[in-house]
Amino acid sequence: MIRSVAVGAGITTAAVAIAHTALAGYVARRLVAPRSPKVFTPVTVDGDTVSVPVVDDSREPGTYGLRFDDGSHMMVGDIVRIEGDRVIRRILTRPEHLGDGDAVAAWTSQNIGAPEDVGPTRHVGVPLRRGGVAEAWEIGDRATADGRWTIHVHGLRSSRNGALRSSPATRDAGWMSLVVSYAGDDECEPADALPSTLGTREWRDVDDAISYAIGQGAREIVLVAWSMGGTIAMLALEESPHRGTVTGLILVAPALDWTRVVENAVAGAHLPRTVAAASMRVLASRVGARALGLVEAVDARALTWVGTKRPGPRVPTLILHSRVDPVVPFSGSVAYVQRHPDAELVAFDATGHCNEANQEPERFHDAIVGFLRAH
């Protein structure tokens, strides 16, 4: 009897351990998974309004975008009303060819349709040390910028279009903007759909962008990094031979402590806290990395700049972050600023992740312009 109970307990323990490992692998896979295809849904254009399906994102306040299946873009603004399962929002800009009626489009936080909407644009390719090129947009007037460049780095499962949201402010401050792609992007050649390495591979492509900007006359560079782009910027400033040219950082909802990010995701999914640590062990192991399709193992626990192990760069830094960010905890930015006297934190109350520019555009714009002009 005792033996059968012991065997039964052992089987139960093993089953729990297997389930726990499976959950950890699931979390790790979701964390580094490539960007999902855009979800196109029916929309109805009617004069100066558009009707879209009710989802969490489409109910957010602020200014957003609709990307149509032909690639054109519509900027949408305030909610006019909600009717059942449809949200009716104000149209702010409309493609010339688009008439009233039904269409198919994908909702996006990317409220700027194209770099040309920001300023004079050159479509360029940044040569990569690993071979191939990374597509980039060069926005602005080199003559008036006088060697002052910003490099805009998007986050995980985003694209250059998302990072465009910081370029109007850098334009108004008189700086050049280079909005870049990097490893894992559909538009980075040779293109790949490999999982993200949370910045440990991607930073090299951004370092190549820094080298490109220097080759084009940049004398001082400020990195403008969004979400995981913050991790990339930190790694670049630790490793880049060009880091002396980077004289400032502007970080939007930056991932400066991946332990907090993973624990927050696990808590949001109502999973046991232990799953967070287990998922990071999966990422850091060679077996786990191979199972996830990673190019290299990723020690997510080491990707933190809020403690004492990695001090972070000693350059003027502006952090723009919402107190209620559901993805990257605001507490990480607070902890970073407490340890870095050169860092300033501007707190927002925007809902959603990286929606500061969408919901509080004037504060977002003015904070960046003020930082660059003082810089």
Give the tokens for residue 174.
Answer: 């008189």
Among 151-160, 162-171, 279-288, top mean pLDDT goes to: 162-171
Q: How far apart are CA 196 and CA 201, in angstroms?
A: 8
CB-CB neighbours of 44 under 10 Å = 14
Q: Could you report the per-residue pLDDT of 32-45, keeping only the tens digit for each?
A: 877 677 889 999 99
Write down how long the chain is: 375
Domains and CATH numbers, the chain: 41-108 (2.40.10), 115-257+303-374 (3.40.50.1820)
Q: Could you report the per-residue pLDDT of 331-347, keeping only the tens digit for each?
A: 999 999 999 999 999 99
How many alpha carbons fall within 13 Å on the CB side of residue 282?
24
Q: Could you report the per-residue pLDDT of 98-141, keeping only the tens digit for each?
A: 999 999 999 999 999 999 999 999 999 999 998 889 999 999 99
Q: Is 253 left (phi over 0), alpha (psi -120 to 50) or beta?
A: left
Whole-structure pTM value? 0.92
Q: With helix as H, strand as E and coil as C, how does 318-341 read?
A: EEEEECCCCCCCHHHHHHHHHHCC
Q: Could you report the per-residue pLDDT of 46-90, keeping only the tens digit for each?
A: 999 999 999 999 999 999 999 999 999 999 999 999 999 999 999
Q: Could you report the per-residue pLDDT of 217-274, keeping only the tens digit for each?
A: 999 999 999 999 999 999 999 999 999 999 999 999 999 999 999 999 999 988 999 9
Q: Could you report the per-residue pLDDT of 5-17, keeping only the tens digit for each?
A: 444 444 444 444 5
Predicted confidence at residue 37, as pLDDT, reads: 75
Q: How far apart are CA 130 and CA 75, in angstroms?
A: 37
Q: How far apart are CA 230 and CA 223, in angstroms?
A: 9
Predicted confidence at residue 19, as pLDDT, reads: 57
Q: Is the pLDDT of residue 3 over 70?
A: no
DSSP letters, 196-216, are P-TTTTTHHHHHHHHHHHHHT
Q: Residue 30: pLDDT band by 50, 70, 90 thresholds?
A: confident
**Beta carbons within 8 Å of 11's beta carbon, 6+ residues apart:** none
Least Cα distance to 76 among 42, 103, 111, 47 occurs for 111
